[in-house]
Structure 1
């Protein structure tokens, strides 16, 4: 039988696990529901110096107090299953790093994958907390070292409360405690990160927040940095059809999943060892490297592909998606999909521009928007560019960056394009500034043309954002040309596993989108 140590998210204590602990114990497991300093009945134990390290030490002390099993059996290498929900994964990882030999498995319950040096603040679902910290207004009532819990009538600030009964919501509001600020702002330190990374692990997705096993499979298939850890044979995954607080909404189902996780069950994601990551596969149009004829120019964040021309030419700036891990190599502007688009645009007479921006997490959109705006300004000032004829083309998660340009389109912006875009923050993304809502901004776009490429095999949560945008644009907004690719999926321009018919349709769609953008950027006076 397993021994579980349960650690909940912000503002809560061990009480939140009551309805999960009962069925776990009934199944023969031991259960220790942690209440960290400042939380639950220990709310008066916190002070201004309470921080993440305090909570890590709380768990280390708890682990040391639990007698080691004489024969851990199948629970190797240790005897404890540590479960971290939301914020709770930070102290769980910190304690596991210090007591690796006691840990049989780490369970990420609707929680992220923080690394050494990360702060919990970066993943906080409550945007208000981030705003206050950034502005230096952590308190407001003289109690500047604690963050009060969100109001019960604002479920999005709790990370989503789908499925939680009214009585449980009332209890959550009644028992929630202020969170010591230092627990969110002190970086997580993992001096034994390699040993920690080798431990068995389980991820449990709460699918009402929009993420699931399919997302992991996409990350692994695309070979993005860090995704190889998700394909280890010691890592399993489960899904629960509920919101961010499953211990309150589906406690029995959660208990069952935890028991299965402890027994080393769960869906395994496997990487195709011989396959090249999808984002590094060949661009589907055959564009020779020397096709433009005008060469290229590389700067810190941009690469410009020039046509053979004497006079300045219009430019199309290609904005990649994300969020992508910092340190991704090669960087997106050198991925075949973007170099392919850039060269193809140049072969047709425009300056194709690829850009690197710093969208590494959902909270980075403002920084990425600044990177893009700076790159556009430099491109417009280039002597080989007609600065009065520019188009911006957004891909995937970069679609939210479209909002700024829709809200106040400058006269030199002749067209915007979006390919398999994310046009609203996805469930579970946490804090994204309200300004990055293309559907809300599209009403201010006037006559700015929009070319939108929509794939038929899109993830449902992304497809819903596209439909929301099109609905908003249809109410007297800009002219939108929709290019449908029914047999295509996200990132289809470099897929090499499509049949002949799908591949031909994909090539036609890319060519049509490029020519539609060029028609707008070169039209009129």
Structure 2
């Protein structure tokens, strides 16, 4: 098997910059790593239009990766898990590893809105009150964070089921209790723990898994790559 490219998709309001330290560490270790920014966010903010939603995020990344040489390992943090599931579904046979980091693992018809609790829905609505289009970043987010398209958080995803065929699937729960009980992700981790096709980990971090540097995330990616190539 050729060395796969690790594609890192950030969560809501974040861009490729969030993964910079992880990309550097993975590259230094001899891996191929690519972090992406989704349309309408950060340095791609000027691409925001009336059609920017979950489907367009999935389509944008799918189109970008379709011509990428070799196999793919997709890493999605938080909202990024919605996008990586959609891309894995759209590129059957190309994605050999899927790693969701404290994020969503949708089935057909799911959305972020349908997968979270009232506290998170309140952020979506209150955060979008200023523009009606973008959900403003939470106060604790990095200053580089930008508004996130509300449509991408409420739109239901369309999946054929092909994403189930990805041979290696890992889920990592940020086990530090800072988000509890707001976080929807412990429930997702518990559900996947009963699914033999997923390997579930606890990470000793908050939801901001890179706050203390790249080591925890890079170690997780190394485990995924070991399963893929082993």
Q: TM-score range by the shorter chain?
A: 0.7 to 0.9
Q: Which residue of 1 aligns with 2:33?
A: 31
Distance 1:105 1:23 in 2: 19
Q: Select which of 194, 202, 215 maps to 2:170.
A: 202
Give the number of the structure with larger relative contact order, counting CA–CA contacts within 8 Å between residues 6 or more apart: 2
Distance 2:120 2:222 in 1: 36
Distance 1:132 1:109 in 2: 20
Matched, 1:86 2:86: no
Paired residues for 1:437-516 under 5 Å? none
Cα distance change on mapping 1:247 and 1:103 into 2, 3 Å: same
Residue correspondences, number: 218
Shift of 1:121: 2.0
Counterpart secondary structure, 1:175: coil
Q: Which residue of 2 aligns with 1:260?
A: 223
Distance 2:128 2:109 in 1: 25
Asked whether the 8 Å contact 1:236–1:264 carries over to 2, the reply is no
Asked whether the 8 Å contact 1:202–1:236 carries over to 2, the reply is yes
Distance 1:148 1:125 in 2: 18
Gaps of 5+ in 2: none
Matched, 1:150 2:138: yes
Matched, 1:231 2:196: yes
Q: Select which of 139, 144, 162 maps to 1:175.
A: 144
Shift of 1:99: 0.3
Q: Which residue of 2 aligns with 1:60?
A: 62
Shift of 1:131: 6.6
Counterpart secondary structure, 1:112: coil
Q: Cα deviation per residue 1:388-424 (whole Å; 9 max; x = unaligned)?
A: xxxxxxxxxxxxxxxxxxxxxxxxxxxxxxxxxxxxx
Counterpart secondary structure, 1:16: helix
Taking only aligned residues, the RMSD between alpha carbons, in angstroms, comes to: 2.6
Counterpart secondary structure, 1:24: helix
Shift of 1:115: 1.0
Distance 2:30 2:212 in 1: 23
Shift of 1:140: 3.5
Counterpart secondary structure, 1:201: strand
Distance 1:189 1:236 in 2: 24
Matched, 1:122 2:114: yes
Q: Which is greater in Rg?
A: 1
Shift of 1:10: 0.4
Paired residues for 1:70-469 under 5 Å? 79-124=71-116, 127=119, 129-130=121-122, 133=125, 139-141=128-130, 143-152=131-140, 172=142, 174-191=143-160, 193=161, 195-199=162-166, 200-209=168-177, 216=190, 230-232=195-197, 235-264=198-227
Distance 2:169 2:227 in 1: 9
Distance 1:39 1:132 in 2: 16
Gaps of 5+ in 1: 69-78, 153-168, 220-225, 266-525
Counterpart secondary structure, 1:19: helix
Counterpart secondary structure, 2:200: strand
Distance 2:208 2:117 in 1: 13
Q: Cα deviation per residue 1:348-407 (whole Å; 9 max; x = unaligned)?
A: xxxxxxxxxxxxxxxxxxxxxxxxxxxxxxxxxxxxxxxxxxxxxxxxxxxxxxxxxxxx
Distance 2:123 2:173 in 1: 27
Asked whether the 8 Å contact 2:22–2:218 carries over to 1, the reply is yes
Q: Which residue of 2 aligns with 1:156?
A: none
Cα distance change on mapping 1:190 and 1:81 into 2, 3 Å: same
Asked whether the 8 Å contact 1:121–1:185 carries over to 2, the reply is yes
Shift of 1:86: 0.6
